Amino acid sequence: MTTAPGIQDTTAASLDALAADAATGALSSERGIVYLSAGHVVHAESALTPDLGTLLTRSGALAPDGWWEAVDHAGVQHRVARRLVDSGRLSAGALELCHLGALFDAAYFVLAHGGRPRRFRAGAAHWLGTVRPVPVATVVRESARRRELLHRIWPEPDIDTAPLARVPDAGATGLPVRRSRILDQVDGVRTATEIAAALGCRTYHTLVELRRLAAGGLVVPAAPGAPPAKAGSGRPAAAQVDPDTALLRRLRDALEAL
């Protein structure tokens, strides 16, 4: 493991410097890792977001056996993404959109709250392989846009990482379907990340709905030691949530125009 000579005080600044150097490798921060190839972001991951495999399999886009077959047979060659498409298990477009969602989800946490970089491993590559390189400036700009939107909805960031509880006796009628499904998963124990993983949906969209629920007085960070709430409507944990892909399609179109 090596530390980049020009490593900066914030992860965003370090990414800018690595992009200027057309660097290839992995930049670790307090909340995740960003992988670069020739100065572009090719993958990002964080323990606070469901990974690509979770998103693909729990949403029903890909059978778990298909995911693990690709990982087992192509991981060492860093060609998992290529094998998923070549095998016919997943279309290139579906993989691209889901990967962009996972990338921007993880990048939000990696760059949030002025996160600090730890080290840069020159030459390191992710076993997934390259799906679509994204300019660092695009990743940093999109992460900032997401932070600003979440702040406008509800300014308390504890909602993003703390176990969450429902407010007793708070009325929850007339909620949109996605918000209602997310509220059903709030039990005093699960965090936003765990709720997103249970539903097989992207963390950012879950955060948007949870902050709206907090602004509506329906959800608060759970008190330490509080017992889990009883289940809401009894919907299964793996219920599918229709993904909002419009933004990702616009981002992909913009990248193609570069």
Please report the DSSP string for 133-190 in residue order: -EEHHHHHHHHHHHHHHHHHH---GGGGTS-EEEPTT---TT--HHHHHHHHT--SS-
Cα–Cα distances in angstroms (integers) from residue 24 to residues 8, 9, 188, 212, in the given order: 17, 20, 42, 39
pLDDT of residue 60: 86
pLDDT of residue 228: 61
Listed in sequence order, the DSSP H helices in the chain are: 11-20, 52-58, 64-74, 80-86, 92-111, 136-153, 177-184, 192-199, 203-215, 246-256
Successive 10-residue mean pLDDT values, the chain, 258 residues = 58 94 95 96 92 88 94 94 94 93 92 82 95 96 94 93 92 89 95 88 90 96 71 39 48 54
pLDDT of residue 231: 44
Residue ranges of the domains in the chain?
11-147
pLDDT of residue 249: 54
How far is residue 138's CA from residue 257's CA, in Å, rounded to a whole number?
13
Task: Identify whether the C-beta of residue 154 lies closer than 8 Å to the C-beta of residue 212.
Answer: yes
pLDDT of residue 243: 42
Question: What six digits make up the tokens of 26?
Answer: 């992995």
pLDDT of residue 108: 92
